[in-house]
Chain A
Amino acid sequence: MFQRTLPSLFLATSPAWMKVMVGVKRVVDYTVKVRVKGNKVQSEGLKMSVNPFDEIAIEEAIQLKEKKLADEVIAVTIGNKKAEEVLRTAMALGCDKAIHIVTPDGEAEGLEPLAVAKIFQKLHEEMKPDMWILGKQAVDGDLGTTPQLLAGLLDIPQGTFASKLEVNDGKVRVTREIDAGHQIVELQLPCVIAADLRLNTPRFPKLPNIMKARKKPIDARDVSSLGVDVKPRLAREAVMEPPPRKAGIKVKSVEELYDKLHNEAKVI
């Protein structure tokens, strides 16, 4: 009896520990409305933050650690010098390590997702994580492609638009938000998860943790040292602000609203 429980105990605990990598992007804060000037998106001087979906990704990774399913969470960002601040936030929230792939200043939205996915692919080969958790989209480019591209490059399964994760016996059960409701899929590890809004509610970093995070080292590497072709595939022909809508009117009563909708707009 005793002999039987001991080895199974080891078996039950050892494979459960996962190494999780989280992708984090510094973006124009989601509450700020950007302007376009001279065929360029004006992001200079605007408030910058961690991409909201990446906050959710960080939170999920930390929760996996708290549930003793993950033993190491590594935050990664790709961006100019200032992008370091999102890694400090990630570490203040509980990430163990941080890697900063430093890029020159340039386009507001940074490297294209394909280049980002290729850099993550390199890091995957080096660090061999069990799971990547990324946000489902960055609120600047709104492309929503990096997780799928990374999973495709690595040829590992993907759990996109995830609203719930359950890790069991080396598999992940992912509840996904789809057009008509929810879908549950089970993925083999390693895999890539793309966090949707309702996966969790991110916590705020605590002041002492922010102080501690300042002292943690960041593994900073120049993008050119990775040997990844980061040349953009999509040339920006133009950026514009959308045409403004014709100014509307305020009506004074429900009767007037009905009249306008019925007789003028002819929609009801």
Chain B
Amino acid sequence: MSNFLLLPIIIPFFFGMLLMFAPKNIRYQRIGAMTGLTIALVTAIALLFKVKNEGIQVVTFGDWPAPFGITLVSDTVSALLVLTSVILAFFTVWYSISAIGKERESFFYYPGILFMLTGVNGAFTTGDIFNLFVFFEVLLMSSYLLIVLGGEKAQLRESIKYILVNVISSAIFVITVAFLYSVVGTLNMADIAVKIAAIGQPGIITVIAVLFLIVFGLKAAIFPLYFWLPSSYAAPPIPVLALFGALLTKVGVYAITRTYTLFFVHDTGFTHELLMILSVLTILAGCIGALAYFDVKKIIIYNIIIAVGVILFGVSQMNDNALMGSMFYLIHDMLIKAALFFLVGIIIAVTGTSDLRKMGGLMKTHPALGWFYLIAAFGLAGIPPLSGFVGKLLIVRGGFEAGNLGASIWILLSSLVVLLSVIRIFIYAFWGKEQGSLQQIDKGQYRMMFIPTAILVMLTVFYGVGSEWITPFMQDAANILNNPSVYTDAVLKE
């Protein structure tokens, strides 16, 4: 059945619609969202193995031949990302049940998450540049709802800025697609790649490449364009923040990866050099922010920016090792960021504050939380048996192979800063004397928040320890990214 790759997109959409019929029935909302995501999870796993066994899956709607209809393409890169997003949405909904509060649950919170997942999965799977824009808008519209839902003052204030930035970047996206259309005369991504290869990337295509970098860089928060992210992400409640931090910036990262490995590969001396410089600066900006704050949310938010820089550095190197490292690190980072936000959310719920200086002594009262936090923190920094290690190792190796010694060493040094920033949370919150009164959240609620978090942390540990099983998928993904012809042949042969 060749329509199988549509299921991870359609199922969340369908369940999102079903949930809209009875917003006030919270039981129905919770069960419906969990059921939908479980089914989506099964199909996403099945899709990944199907892609692994049978090669790239392609569907062109309405039986039109490939460049004329809208094509959806599921290769290993997108199947891995789709699976990771569904896993994260699943854990976020599970965590939300006790963390988000009944008022939000009865005002289309779960449909918002499901529609956002529809947009994210669609953006990962599409093979049409304008369809990518439409899926971007689907996920952005849902994110507007989620960021402002609740209507607190900080949320209203920050969502205005968030929406403004995204409206502008969407307009630039439309403009860029218009320019690209006027040069190559097609919208199908594989066809664009072939046409650009045929004209050998003249100057105008390089300009379009930089415009795409601006558009997707605004979504992904790379160096000069990350200004909106720290304050916007601090506004919504923790489960929404976890979903945004894990998924939304990564869609931008994926879009940069796709366009820079499929379209703009003929003038890498300029475009990829630019991407490398920006990614190094992104890491620098993130490191400064991660060390500057005493607010637990802000520290992890700046760590998102660091990770975006690391992944894009790998993409800019354009060799097998670095691209494979980027894929490894991308999936790792999505999982670990969600886990860290969940853990930080529990810390905030227990202590009643997000200010590190007002915390202390949690190790005595919540030892399990402390140990899981420590594992997640080491995983983020890339201590060998844990999940962040393999990705960064391969990225640095790829950097050395491409001859960028200084930048690669800077990646390694940034790991120290990452470790320092998250260990500061551990030292302040878990060691020392108990400070102030602990917030009394009841045992049941604490357990409901802790169980999904603990499972997610264990999943990241498994991801690190079992990297040998995951390597074939990553090799496949790197092969597709490094050889655009694999992708274009799969799409255009039919």
Bound together: no
